[in-house]
Amino acid sequence: MMGKRIGDRIIKFASLFFASVILVLVAGIVYELIKGSDRSLATFGWGFLITSTWDPVNKVFGALPFIFGTIVSSIIALIIALPLSIGIAIFLSELAPKKVRIYVSLMIEMLAAVPSIIYGLWGLFVMTPFLQTRIEPFLGKHLGFIPLFQGPPLGVGMLAGGLILSIMIIPTIASITRDIFNTIPTLYKEAGFAIGMTRWEVISKIVFPQARSGMIGAVMLGFGRALGETMAITMVIGNAPVISASLFSPAYTLSSVIANEFTEATSKLYISSLIELALLLFIISMLFNAIAKLLIKRGRFTQ
Amino acid sequence: MAKKLIIEHLNAWFGNVQALKDINLDIEENGVTAVIGPSGCGKTTFVRCLNRIHEVVDNAKVNGSVLLDGENIYSNTMDPVLVRRRIGMVFQKPNPFPSMSIFENVAAGIRLNGSKKKNEIADRVEKSIKMSALWDEVKDKLYKSATALSGGQQQRLCIARTIAIEPEVILMDEPASALDPISTARIEELIQQIKERYTIVIVTHNMQQAARVSDYTGFFLLGELIEFNKTSDIFTNPKDKKTEDYITGRFG
């Protein structure tokens, strides 16, 4: 009896301790990021966010091209990955025969386990030449009247960055969405069939509405991964702090610039500016996470 | 009376397990036919074969024929979706769509069938809910979630949803087994009220219920149809020893 109580108390304190470690870690990261960027904060203030110059020689630093590059490349990734992932999830949970289901699921999970440097290498040596010689000239020729598809086909650039990110987030979104579809009880799907719904109507009218909040969560997880991804996108996005309407133009992301320039940052202001970029990336990720939570909450049907 | 459904040499499997063995049976139009038998005897599988919902499950197979007004629902030219619009189904567990309101639950099937006019849909929803003896309880909360209703109300809503698509046959798979006695009585009353318009096939493990609501009864055991007759005959004068043992409570 006594021993049991002591066990309960140990468990209680131990779990409380572990839980508070998380809080301390997050608070510590935020504190260090703010402290590290104090020089940059003091020098540039809010102007840092809207300045598009990044000039280490003259010590003028602005974050706008990197914020632009990070968010736009992630949005492109999402636009490409979302329909594909939902299609994969529908196939795996509703349509595929059991054997196919097992093998395809395995492949998708393997895709998620591939190290990002391998995606980067593949992107640089296989994907970008293909983009440069085939896809971008084709798009420029037929859709060139849209600013998105103007400019010289370089291969590396925003389109390449978005594409490589989309490939990397498909496994995340597809496998979570598939798991959510699988949790929808058969009895609701059968009720749909019983009133004469086709398979597509069951998916769109029964499965989707019930899976909605979970799907938003899956999408936001994928988006979060895209925002923070560093290695692969650094290799294919072109690494130039440019804000351009064209998808063919090179760009730069917050994570890429930090990874590329940390070792060569000589002045204290330079280092401080890079840390402020890290702080911004942290805030952007948190912001999207919070929006996701809000959407999930609102997406729930009043029960 | 005319025969609404004629079932001939119906066999069904789950993977390699045969759930139904050579079932032959006629269902009378505008009658209530009860299907009784112990758990696992194939009675649920049997009704699920009558609207082709059995085949929705992985690895499920059927052969044999089910004639609806003389037309085989398993022929290659028959669309299972259209079959299910003519043969509705109420399930064991109340399953209103949780993402839809009470109104939408009933309207969903009507919209599928093509009618798009707003007031026409509203009329049919109201008519269906009234027929299911649920109107007075839900008329003030038609746009609230269906999951807020009690189990018995949810089941009557499911019946309304089925009636709304105006089927010719309604299959009921133990529709009252998850309900309390009062809700059960209301469902049974409802069956009596709607049987003039529909042909009803009801699965039940409750023999009193079969005796109360049905005109004909089939007794299933281990995937076989042991005996089929008028309900009064089955319960007063069973021909087969196994039927007698079951209805007198010797097993099951």
SS3 of B88-147: the string is EEECCCCCCCCCCEHHHHHHHHHHHCCCCCHHHHHHHHHHHHHHCCCHHHHCCCCCCEHH
Q: At CB < 8 Å, which residues of chain B contact A?
A: 51, 53, 56, 58-59, 81-82, 84-85, 88-89, 91, 93, 95-100, 108-109, 112-113, 144-145, 147-148, 158, 161-162, 165
Subunit contact A196:B148, Cβ cutoff 8 A: no
Subunit contact A303:B85, Cβ cutoff 8 A: no
Using one digit for the tens of pLDDT, what is the confidence trace for A257-279? Answer: 999 999 988 899 999 999 999 99
In 10 A of CB A44, how many CB atoms? 21
Q: Quick one: DSSP state of residue A302?
A: P
Q: Which residues in chain B are contacts of A191 at CB distance < 8 A?
A: 91, 95-97, 158, 161
Q: Among residues of chain B, what percentage have pLDDT more than 90?
A: 83
List phi, psi (to 5°) of A218. Answer: -65, -45
Q: Which residues in chain A are contacts of B58 at CB distance < 8 A?
A: 97-98
List phi, psi (to 5°) of A157. Answer: 155, -165
In the three-class reduction of DSSP (H, G, I as helix; E, B as strand; rest coil), residue B203 is classed as strand
Query: Which of A97, A187, A198 lies closest to B95 in CB terms?
Result: A187
Subunit contact A193:B84, Cβ cutoff 8 A: yes
Residue A285, H or E segment: helix A268-299
pTM for the whole structure: 0.84
Which ipTM value was assigned to this complex? 0.92
One DSSP character per residue, A184-231 reads S-HHHHHHHHHTT--HHHHIIIIIHHHHHHHHHHHHHHHHHHHHH--H
Q: Which residues in chain A are contacts of B98 at CB distance < 8 A?
A: 188, 210, 301, 303
Using one digit for the tens of pLDDT, what is the confidence trace for A101-159? Answer: 999 999 999 998 999 999 999 999 999 999 999 999 899 889 989 989 998 889 999 99
Beta-carbon contacts of A187 under 8 Å, excluding residues fewer than 6 positions away, are B91, B93, B95
Using one digit for the tens of pLDDT, what is the confidence trace for A172-223? Answer: 999 999 999 999 999 999 999 999 999 999 999 999 999 988 898 889 889 9
Give the pLDDT of residue A51.
92
CB A241 within 8 A of CB A250: no
Query: Which of A97, A194, A201 lies closest to B53 in CB terms?
Result: A194
Chain A nearest-CA distance from B161, in A, is: 8
Residue at token pair 């390699």: B16
- On the question of pLDDT at A303 being above 70, the answer is no
Using one digit for the tens of pLDDT, what is the confidence trace for B141-167? Answer: 999 999 999 999 999 999 999 999 999
Chain A nearest-CA distance from B53, in A, is: 7
CB B158 within 8 A of CB B102: no
Average pLDDT over residues A46-59: 92
